[in-house]
Amino acid sequence: MWVDEEKQQQQQQHRSSSSSNNSKVVLPGEPLHLGEGFLLGLNTYVENGVARSSVCGVVQTVNRLVYVRALKSRYEANVGDVVVGRVTDIANGKVICGLIFSY
């Protein structure tokens, strides 16, 4: 009987630690309140030494990497991004394409 109770306590601790780890919803500009040693990932920025969210979303943590998973996402291109798209037009030597996939 004692072994079963110990197993249940371990399962409850595991559930509570994994579910509370990634459940905070933040708004754009809201501080992320990180401790020392964290790396900032997607949808985050630093302003006056404070890590903040750049989108409305859920704070996610993977090892030491902290990022914000947007609740409603729209792709914002950055120089160097790899994308897959369909060419829709060519104007003045520039290719216009519709974005199909990005990573």
Q: What is the pTM of this model?
A: 0.51
Say if residue 63's pLDDT is above 50. Answer: yes
Give the range among 1-5, 31-35, 95-99 with minimum mean pLDDT. 1-5
- The answer on pLDDT for 21 being more than 80 is no
The mean pLDDT value of the chain amounts to 78
Architecture of domain 20-102: Beta Barrel (2.40)
For residue 9, give the amino acid letter. Q
Domain boundaries, the chain: 20-102
| 82 Cβ contact partners less than 8 Å away, ≥ 6 residues apart | 102, 103
Strand partners, 88: none
